[in-house]
Chains A and B, each alone.
Chain A
């Protein structure tokens, strides 16, 4: 465990160093930028609240990706699932939020979004389980389809005629707003994500289906020979994965914007892959790594404001971090090997 922590911290530091070189190339002094961004992020009220707000969708998409990874499936479609979740939430909120109060509205949003995300993920899941179609490609391509669907609705039927320039829906009724925790601006999406992470862990540890998933994840053909229905397992796991990732769309739309608008996701879905990978796909570990990636997001946002850098700086740091993390995995396996040899 301590080796893992050392290597992970080492790869984060390396990514920060490499990133600072690139920042220096666009004229930003990293020795000045890192401390000032850090101070704003952790010691300013706006900063730490934003950290928890950014952590929420990253936790949900990361958990979604991690669930699929239990069976060595790659869900690269969390971005599209998030969009679909947001579309489902928006539809429900526009339809019912003025007539229902929050006691009914919030469970409807939660269940509706979960089901919609699951149905969306059932497309690549079904294609994978029954036809053997590569899920990496299908989940990825469906991202573009979901984003186009959101654009179609935003420019068409759902567009609020009173906003002239930016295509967005009208505001939802207040009964569909996710409540805030205490007097902060952090909404209840974060505890929901943590709860789901714990539930996933319990499901994997202590239930029959969790046992089957773990066996099939270790060795799919062994699971086949043991008489588990691995096709069903693949299907269920990928559907669950998409359903959880879709909830990130709900927390963004119902928790923060209270309407659907363009570009509300800053690659939260793709970042979920890094969140999961960094936690080595452990459902509880995802809570910590989602926070880490939130640091990168808020840091990038602050660089945007303070130094007029484009949002791309976030993707740059994410890419670097993922590189250093996978590059460092070799050192972990070397440690294990040597212990086995002794």
Chain B
């Protein structure tokens, strides 16, 4: 294989592998901008992957499968919201509970599905754009969920930074007590962001049976939800940067797969560590750089429960 060919394969795989991370990261960004940590991504992704698989198996409709996945993800996130926002429970602990609960649900109800298969989405080339050398086929000869993710990146960016809603969401994440004094309902805005954010995370879970694996296995998402949790941090809670972060990790996974295919003399279990170690290194670099610059980018009220009438 020539170098451009290998590069094209790695880039294409990077986008495919990065897309579920991208969806989940976008969901995390939305929720955390409003001040609620969404640590339970792994559980939401597993359940929505299961729902996608089941609905697809029963109806054969990809669209229905996706709607089902988003509804399931929204419901689970609603539970997280209820515990964190209404009951003022610890967001990290609730997220962990969600991760365990979702893993349990998908394992329990997915047990009967092991061995069944569904079809994967077709690639739809975009005329003209797909002909760009190397980049064209990687970014513009993909399935429609990848294109949906581009739209969501742009849409979420526009909503967060150029609309009144976005301003309200970001304010609730920075200074809920001020928002409350101005007459905004902190609880309502947070609930909506947690649920819609959860639905985006659900799209990430749905991507696994839609594109990545056509058969059901236990623990289908294999820890990718946790990588997305880290990605939210080094995307600086920004949808545009989430795109690059997700593809960087997609590329790490693509490199790992490609190295196996090409028979490089690195044992596969050592390669498996690579995306996780890379996450730690990048997180460290980003943290150190931000501390030097004296900036954190983190929403100021992230992780703090808010209750009307509290004296702060």
Contact = CB atoms under 8 A, between A and B. Distances in A.
A225 interface: no
Contacts of B89: 326-327, 329-330
A323 B276 CA distance: 28
A152 B105 CA distance: 30
Interface in B257-299: 267, 269-270, 272-273, 276-277, 279-280, 283-284, 287-288, 291
Contacts of A178: none
Contacts of A270: 96, 100
B109 A314 contact: no
A155 B269 contact: yes
B233 A315 contact: no
Most A Cβ at <10 Å: residue of B96, B102, B230, B267: B96
Contacts, number: 154
A252 to B, nearest CB: 20
Given A136-B92, A310-B111, A319 B102 contact: yes
Contact of B90 (A133, A156, A329): A329
Interface residues of B, number: 49
A320 B101 contact: yes
Contact of A312 (B103, B230, B233, B272): B103
A155 B104 CA distance: 28
Contacts of B79: 323
A275 interface: no
A282 interface: no
B129 interface: no
B273 A317 contact: no
A152 B301 CA distance: 42
A277 B83 CA distance: 15
Contacts of B83: 323, 326-327
Contact of B106 (A140, A309, A312): A312
B269 A148 contact: yes
Contacts of B287: 131-134
Contacts of A144: 223, 226, 272-273, 276
Contacts of A149: 269, 273
A267 B90 CA distance: 21
Interface in A296-330: 309-320, 322-323, 325-327, 329-330
B276 A137 contact: no
Nearest to A76: B96
A50 interface: no
B276 A314 contact: no
A315 B280 contact: no
A22 interface: yes
A39 interface: no
A333 B273 CA distance: 42
Contacts of B279: 137, 141
A26 interface: yes
A171 B28 CA distance: 46
A247 B83 CA distance: 33
B121 interface: no
A320 B218 CA distance: 20
A127 interface: yes
Interface in B74-105: 79, 82-83, 87-90, 92-94, 96-105
Interface in B235-271: 267, 269-270
A134 B283 contact: yes
Interface string B47-88: 000000000000000000000000000000001001100011
B96 A273 contact: yes
Contact of B109 (A26, A156, A330): A26
7 contacts: A148-B273, A312-B111, A318-B100, A319-B101, A320-B97, A322-B100, A326-B83
Given A133-B283, A273-B93, 8 more contacts: A131-B287, A137-B233, A141-B227, A144-B276, A156-B267, A311-B107, A320-B97, A325-B93
Interface of A: 22, 25-26, 74, 76, 127, 131-134, 136-138, 140-142, 144-145, 148-149, 151-152, 155-156, 267, 270, 273-274, 277, 309-320, 322-323, 325-327, 329-330, 333
